[in-house]
Chain A
């Protein structure tokens, strides 16, 4: 089946894709520039028999989502900057207790209240490390309305597959822009649901990982009476301080994401085959980079784009390969240095890294990237 073509806004696409992915619960709190996701789902979810609730704050919205996921629903919450900060503690609770949930952060200028209606890419490191403690994190970064749609579905799938929160991270421009979008037919994508336990209630160990390191799930109220706690816990879910048990859990948490690397890690390579200069960019900045590349190519500059789609886990292997091929990588970001440090770590001196950074609340213009490329050809 063919999809349907619509004029769609980024945030609207996120809401529609959530429904397509099987989301039946949304809890949120109003915040610019993400509110359209809540508004759209307030309208759509009841029609599908789903539940929508506007909570009293961002912390409560994250908590309610986790509660509903424990009740067996696929859940979504959406926020921006300040709200993302507030969600961090409960986000860590979901990581540790292995409760699937999807969190959208539409990035605006910061820190603090910052620029509520302007784009930025300043939450990249926060998305990775915002909640306290050592933990894995999956973060996906779309760069178009259609990609918001696809990655929203992917975020739900990965969250269900790994039983871990997945963050969809995009900037205000991507969230608010409207573009012609082919909405795929449901036959064009697969939907993954969390693995259900097949053991009897007596034998059920809620935190024993299977071969894939992911424990099987049972929603509350099904006769499998078990305990969920944010304290360090054993396979039964009960609190423990046993060093061996604590470390084993910690390692399994990381492993279950690492061993799915091939399914999670994604990037786009645009005109990189013959490139001697690569631009590394994501989100709206990658769109400007693409425009800059077209112009540069006309000028005979062999330049291409490396666009990470999964920011975390970071596409180490893929970027490392590129590093041996080009004479410079221009890292363009709307911050004063975040993912460039990851690029630097991976490139490890193999090639020159050039920063183009902007923190004015305006998107990076193609001409600015072009200038940087011309300087380093």
Chain B
């Protein structure tokens, strides 16, 4: 039996996630991935934005930074550049990472800075009460699409590929062992790694759209028609290493 307690901040429990939410499943996969890689909690920094998924950082006994809405990648970029030896993991959601913070995702990928970004895609703004997000499927209902969503949803993995992301993957909160492996592979990848994780919001999103019980919603993730697994893996110069090279050159050493 895996000992999750060693990674939790007990004093932060109970967590704020609703019963049946997929986020806890992802958190556990992340902790197993960290354990699998034998990373010390001291050397890990977790950086998040605002939203349900971003509350994850409060629960994990690492160096944790809960920032402003959409800006986790920008804070993480500064931290990583300042301390390249720290393993920086960014937690974001579909609203945080693709709407208000979409610009930072493009540029973190373009720079190929060694961050691992986990984007929890539950298709909705959960924390604010269920508003439509950039990944809400067409015609689904939310508090701000009471007549059905009229906007096209988009594929964040293709966005990151287009921006030059060197590690792009998609997993689900249903298949937790492959997810754990994807996260571990993403952390190990040198450069920007992006993992979209399809998850569920049964309470706010599922009930309104009659998507079934929490268990049925998780099972539905298994039937996604989107490709899962590692979608792209290439290598390119990593940003903080390139910066060190610039310093060496400016100092006449390179």
Main secondary structure on B side of the interface with A? helix
A82 → chain B closest CB, angstroms: 16
C-alpha spacing A72/B83, complex, angstroms: 8
Give the contacting residue for A236; candidates B11, B42, B80, B104; CB below 8 A.
B11
The answer to whether A25 and B81 have CB atoms under 8 Å apart is yes
Interface size of A in residues (CB-CB distance below 8 Å): 44
Cβ A67 vs Cβ B11 within 8 A: no
Within the assembled complex, what's the spacing in Å between the Cα atoms of A242 and B118?
A: 31
| Inter-chain contact A25/B61, CB cutoff 8 Å | no
A57 to B102, CA, bound (A): 12
Q: How far is the CA of A51 from the CA of B243 in the complex (A)?
A: 7
The CA of A230 and the CA of B68, in the complex, are separated in Å by 7
Do the beta carbons of A90 and B68 come within 8 Å of each other?
Answer: yes
Q: For A239, what are the chain B residues with a Cβ–Cβ distance below 8 Å?
A: 58
The answer to whether A227 touches B81, judged by C-beta atoms less than 8 angstroms apart, is no
Q: Which of A36-94 contact B (CB under 8 A)?
A: 46-47, 49-51, 53, 55-57, 59-61, 63-73, 75, 89-90, 93
Query: Is the pair B67, A230 in contact by a Cβ cutoff of 8 Å?
Result: yes
Q: Which residue of A lies closest to B107 (CB)?
A: A56
Distance A220 CA – B41 CA, assembled complex (angstroms): 11
B47 part of interface (Cβ distance < 8 Å): yes
Q: Is B250 interfacial (CB 8 A cutoff)?
A: yes
Decide if B68 touches A67 in the complex (CB within 8 Å): no
Q: Is the CB of B74 within 8 A of A231?
A: no
Asked if A241 lies at the interface with its beta carbon under 8 angstroms from chain B, I say no
Number of interface residues of B (CB under 8 A): 41
A226 pairs with B103, CB closer than 8 A: no
B168 CB–A CB distance under 8 Å: no
Contact with A along B51-70 (1 / 0, CB 8 A): 00000011001111111100
CB < 8 Å neighbour of B71 from A27, A60, A72, A73 = A60
| CB pair B78 A229 closer than 8 Å | no
* Contacting pair B11 A51 (CB below 8 A): no
Q: Per a CB cutoff under 8 Å, which of B58, B75, B250 touches A64?
A: B75
Return the chain A residue nearest B12 by Cβ: A238
A71-B79 in contact (CB<8A): yes
| Chain A positions 334-373 with a Cβ under 8 Å from a chain B Cβ | none
Q: Does A374 contact B (CB under 8 A)?
A: no
User: A206–B243 Cα gap in the complex (Å)?
Assistant: 31
Is B246 positioned at the interface, with any CB of A under 8 Å from its CB? yes
- Are A228 and B11 in contact, CB atoms less than 8 angstroms apart? no
A91 CB, min distance to chain B CBs, angstroms: 10
Quick one: given A60-B104, A66-B75, A71-B79, are A230 and B66 in contact (CB under 8 Å)? Answer: yes
- A50 to B243 alpha-carbon distance, docked (Å): 10
Whether, in the assembled complex, A222 has its beta carbon less than 8 Å from a beta carbon of chain B, the answer is yes
In the complex, which residues of chain A have a beta carbon less than 8 angstroms from the beta carbon of B68?
63, 89-90, 93, 230
- B226 within 8 A of partner (CB): no
Query: Which residues of B approach A to under 8 Å, CB–CB?
Result: 9, 11-12, 41-43, 45, 47, 57-58, 61-68, 71, 74-83, 85-86, 103-104, 106-107, 243, 246-247, 249-251
- 15 additional contacts (CB under 8 A) given A53-B81, A59-B74, A236-B11: A47-B250, A56-B104, A60-B77, A60-B103, A61-B74, A63-B68, A68-B78, A69-B78, A70-B75, A71-B78, A90-B71, A227-B9, A227-B66, A230-B68, A239-B58
